[in-house]
Chains A and B, each alone.
Chain A
């Protein structure tokens, strides 16, 4: 189980990395390598060249600005999980990303790699869509920003153009007092999500839902944003959540080697309800604490 021959480049700047990627020789980016390297060893993926961005300066910081976050592409997933500011301003990121593989995987895996690889089970993609984040890209012709809600096109398919490098993720400020929750089922502890639900709920001073987001993984080709505007003004009681059933009834999730589409269809509403309820409860706790 050895990779096919490849060239190896180790640039030290974004400009250099982008120049290498722009040569059009089928080069791929090596960041954490947690998906790419096993695929190369199985020869499922055989890039002619690797551009190892681990030595590129300036991509490994998490910056907080007025409630918004700027997350560098080389930030390791566990660093995001452990970041106290991010956990306060955007609890969904921590809730979601802590499910991404095991501790060792998260210490290697990167934010940029997770977004670019766009695995259908990647928890970060659901959080990015729920939080209406923007993926920052760079190519030889300059920077470009793509909203997460249009970045993910399907399993391992994104708006990323050949030669483009993901440089970061910017996440806008969230409504004050929002709660977040992430529920996932997988074959084993921290395995690939069979189905997952990411939810954020903000409440008004009276304790009713003011805004809500729900994104499901693995029920559609890409992270699936469910219209939950009907929950606004409610307290997410059974009747309000029952209305979700209509929104989820049309789902036709794909099956794969691990589980059937029918199983995903049965479990998705369960996780959706649990995530929304938990997010609502946490929003309530924030309100009381404030």
Chain B
């Protein structure tokens, strides 16, 4: 790997050319190494962990969306046998600081509400007890007197004068408002002969992992160290903020990572549960476990998804050439703004999609209401943006009466235009968009389905086809979290990832990672395959472990489809150091030139001389036990570590007319869906579904297939099923899986997955991230396919989810 100076001071780490003869392990379809233990019930999730003397916590959530807390009487709860302590917001305020926030203005969020509650389910008290049953019994005995306040649930109403204020100190419910202009948007709209405009509505939903958030706090009064076992938390990126919340030195907060049964972004900054478990342990003086139940998770874990209202327009020529894009978004962020408006920063990384659009205007009002705050969910706002763009493109095709594939093809960025600078300043590193399109059309035999649709339509059946594209930005830079603000308080530019490699005295390789343990993604599979590639060992001989935070190197963890790219870079760096040491030892012992050595089948040997080789075990034993056989300047042992920084980040300009390079490794995908709609019942059946993605170099096609299918299914949930439903007092009406509908396996089509590989020129091995792409396409493709199926009814789909009830309402109108 080489590092060079790029534009605006960017440090660009470039992958050196792939080895002669290709790669042996990267790119191989292998079973995930994580699967056996999780599938056999040996995964040790957070709720499986039991510490000696451990107590259990339950929390009491507010039944009101907006109310003043007049009084809390905890006496009856405290008297219940088995109760250790009842903790209220006052107790928390006395011992801890508010939760971390990256948002704007005077928006303070506490672990447990004080003075007033701002959303249904906000925690008002916690009980520590000998077991969870007693803790929940005691919650019922806490007497909270509320004075209900008028609720504000609609972001437009929230912006009106006189609306009830969610945060009085802020003086307004509009937490943030700004228009970004890139290019000559007004001129382009004026000059373009045609345009389409739509009001679009994206509903609030969430990532909804099977494993809810959970943590065990374990306070050691002797050392003052608070140990927290938790199923998420990015160590060096976020953990120091949590130490500030707990008012302890960061050195005394030790996080032990525990694998999670899913996150999908929703555990990206899992702040409330670990903070609470840590604090409760400090109060109880013994280990305390708190694991959200499903209702608490639905109500009070951050509502991970976006909740947006759009007024959007696309200007284009008579021949379908796109000219300019105008987006005006009101985003209902709920009661707090912990992440600021990063979800729109994300959208701006690829706001023009795969198309040559030169001029973009993007307006945002971030509004506070009496709902839970947003968080992060697969796509982090870019999936919404892509739905909006693809809807506009379909409308443009209809306006011009041209084929929906054709209009897209006409505007695709060409394979010879990379790296491509988009109007916002972010670049697309590489791509071959036409190649992916041709592959997906071939995968489904597109002309066949067009004929089938037309034949079915002639018979009175309602078959529809959707064809949509998306880019998939990957590997965020931290600038995305603050370039929104003119004068941000804190302007980080790092988002590193680290890996430590150790070869034990018997020659086995152990890799230590430095972020939270796995979330259901495949960090261990990926790392094993990269290590196997570097050392030519069997991937399943590699052990992957996770450091606790006191031993952690810089790490940022999964999020923004960054982990595979970044951890591969770190493993490559550490491998390079370690291989150099091995070469020196081996060259000495084999009396060979270092440059003539290669790694082969678990050994290091002289190229072209099969007999002249040493196994890694021989080298390792020498490194650990035979000091006098080592070169004199060499230390004993065989380990190395590396921290891989974002390979290509530049700063935004002061006036934000150029946001800089902040999300440059950009994959690409096309999906095609064929559906049949029953216009009398609203049922949607899938006749065909195909997805082709280009994520650069593929480490493991099987685990990548899983990411694509999983993302596609979550997008299907957003498109057809999921949304938070509220009553007029802001109470969530579907706070359980009974009525919060996730698609089941029986609701999911068979998905044909294909891959194209256009390596990134900037990342280790040319890998691009690919954890979110599926969800970036399904909402758009189902909108397009169902709209096409309902063509006889002249329907335009502008709101999700597309429910059966909505379909029947259209067809019977």
A45: shortest Cβ distance to chain B, in Å? 14
**Which listed residue, A38, A43, A188, touches B741 by the CB 8 Å rule?**
A188
Inter-subunit contact A266/B725 (CB<8 Å): no
Taken residue by residue from 149 to 193, chain A's Cβ proximity to chain B (1 for < 8 Å, 0 otherwise) reads as: 000000000000000000000000000000000000101111110
B744 within 8 A of A: yes
Measured in the bound complex, the distance between the Cα atoms of B808 and A270 in whole Å is 11
State whether A187 touches B741 (Cβ < 8 A): yes
Interface residues of B in 668-721 (CB under 8 A from A): 680-683, 721
Q: Taking the nearest CB of chain A, how far is it from the CB of B47, in angstroms?
A: 12
Whether a CB of chain B sits under 8 angstroms from the CB of A220 is: no
For residue B680, which residues in chain A have a CB less than 8 angstroms away from its CB? 267, 270
Q: Say whether A4 faces chain B, with CB atoms less than 8 Å apart.
A: yes
Instruction: Give complex CA distance A1, B736 in Å.
Output: 11
Q: Is B626 an interface residue (CB 8 A)?
A: no
Q: Indicate if B414 sits at the interface (CB-CB under 8 A).
A: no
A185 touches B736 (CB 8 A): no
Chain A residues, Cβ within 8 Å of B140: 4, 43
Asked if B137 and A4 sit within 8 Å, CB to CB, the answer is: yes
What's the interface size class on B, roughly? 20 to 34
Inter-chain contact B132/A257, CB cutoff 8 Å: no
Option from B136, B294, B743 in Cβ contact (under 8 Å) with A188: B743
Is B741 in contact with A2, judged by CB distance below 8 angstroms?
Answer: no
Which one of A42, A102, A266 contacts B808 once the chains associate, using CB atoms below 8 Å? A266
Residue of B nearest to A183 (CB): B681
Cα distance A38–B735 in the bound complex, in angstroms: 13
- B455 sits at the interface (CB 8 A): no
| Bound Cα distance A267, B809 (Å) | 10
Task: Give Cα A43 to B136, complex, Å.
Answer: 10
- Mark each residue of chain B from 723 to 750: 1 if its CB lies under 8 Å from any CB of chain A, else 0: 0010000000110101101011011000
Contacts of A257 in B (CB 8 A): 725, 733-734, 739
Q: Does B439 contact A (CB under 8 A)?
A: no
A185 to B743, CA, bound (A): 15
Decide yes or no: A185 and B133 within 8 Å by CB, A258-B739, A267-B680 being known contacts: no
Residue of A nearest to B131 (CB): A2
B746–A187 contact, CB under 8 A?
Answer: no
User: Does A259 sit at the interface, judged by CB under 8 A?
Assistant: yes
**CB within 8 Å for A42 and B137 given contacts A188-B743, A191-B741, A257-B725:** no
Bound: A258/B738 CA distance, A:
10
The verdict on B293 contacting chain A, using a C-beta distance below 8 Å, is yes
- How far apart are the CA atoms of A185 and B681 in the complex, in Å? 7
Cross-chain contact A5 with B681 (CB below 8 angstroms): no
Closest to A192 in B: B738
A12 at the interface (CB under 8 A from B): no
A263: chain B residues at CB < 8 Å are 804-805, 808-809
Contact check: which of B136, B295, B744, B809 meets A189 at CB < 8 Å?
B744
In the complex formed, the residue of A with least CB distance to B725 is A257
Interface size on A, residues (CB 8 A): 26
A69 on interface, CB distance cutoff 8 Å: no
Is A131 in contact with chain B by the CB < 8 A criterion? no
B5 at the interface (CB under 8 A from A): no
* Residues on B with beta carbons closer than 8 Å to the beta carbon of A266: 808-809, 812
State the CA gap A3–B136 with chains docked (Å): 9
Are A187 and B721 CB-contacts (below 8 A) given A1-B293, A5-B137? yes
Interface residues of B in 251-296 (CB under 8 A from A): 293-295
Once the chains are docked, how many angstroms separate the CA of A194 from the CA of B734? 16
**Cβ proximity bits A34-50 to B, threshold 8 Å, 1 near / 0 not:** 00001000110000000
Q: Is the CB of A270 within 8 A of B681?
A: yes
Chain B nearest CB: distance from A111 CB in Å? 22
B window 783-813: CB within 8 A of A: 803-805, 808-809, 812
Interface residue ranges of B496-533 to A (CB < 8 Å): none
The answer to whether A217 has its CB under 8 Å from any CB of chain B is: no
- With an 8 A cutoff between CB atoms, is A53 at the interface? no
**Chain A residues within an 8 Å CB radius of B132:** 2
> Hey, which chain B residues are within 8 Å of A191, CB to CB?
741
A229 at the interface (CB under 8 A from B): no
CB-CB contacts of B122-161 with A at 8 A, as 1s and 0s?
0000000000110011001000000000000000000000
Using A5-B137, A257-B733 as known contacts, say yes or no to A187 and B812 having CB atoms under 8 A apart.
no
Please give, as numbers and ranges, the residues of chain A lying within 8 Å of B682 by CB-CB distance. 185, 267
Chain B: minimal CB distance from A257 (Å): 5
Query: How far is A43 from B744 in the complex, measured between Cα atoms in Å?
Result: 26
Chain A 111-168 interface residues, beta-carbon cutoff 8 Å to B? none
A256 to B299 CA separation, bound complex (whole angstroms): 20
Of all chain B residues, which has the CB nearest A263? Answer: B805
**Cα A257 to Cα B741 with chains together (Å):** 12
Which residue in B295, B743, B803 is a CB contact (below 8 Å) of A42?
Answer: B295
Residue ID in chain B nearest A39 by CB atoms: B738
Contact with B along A245-269 (1 / 0, CB 8 A): 0000000000001111001001100
A271 within 8 A of B: yes
Chain A residues lying within 8 Å of B812, measured Cβ to Cβ, are: 266
- Residues from chain A with Cβ under 8 Å of B734 in the complex: 257
Report the bound CA distance from A260 to B803 in whole Å.
12
The distance from the CB of A4 to the nearest CB of chain B, in whole angstroms, is 7
Question: Which residue of chain A has the shortest Cβ distance to B727 in the bound complex?
Answer: A257
Measured between alpha carbons, how far is A190 from B812 in the docked complex, in Å? 25
Q: With a CB–CB cut-off of 8 A, which chain A residues contact B746?
A: 188-190
Contact B804 A187 (CB under 8 A): yes
For B805, what are the chain A residues with a Cβ–Cβ distance below 8 Å?
A: 259-260, 263
Bound complex: CA A189 to CA B748 (Å)? 10
Min Cβ gap A286→B in Å is: 27
Smallest CB-CB separation from A190: which chain B residue? Answer: B746
Cα distance A1–B725 when bound, in Å?
Answer: 21
Whether the pair B736, A42 counts as a contact (CB closer than 8 A) is yes
How far, in angstroms, from A258 to B682 measured CA to CA in the complex?
14
A7 to chain B, nearest CB (A): 14
In the assembled complex, the Cα of A188 lies from the Cα of B137 at a distance in Å of: 34
Residues in B neighbouring A102, C-beta threshold 8 A: 744
Most buried by A among B738, B744, B805: B805
Residue of A nearest to B136 (CB): A2
CB nearest to B292 among chain A residues: A1
Which residue, of A3, A190, A192, A266, has the highest number of chain B Cβ atoms within 10 A? Answer: A266
Q: How far is the CA of A194 from the CA of B725 in the complex (A)?
A: 17
8 interchain pairs (CB within 8 A)? A5-B137, A42-B295, A43-B140, A187-B741, A189-B744, A257-B739, A258-B739, A259-B804
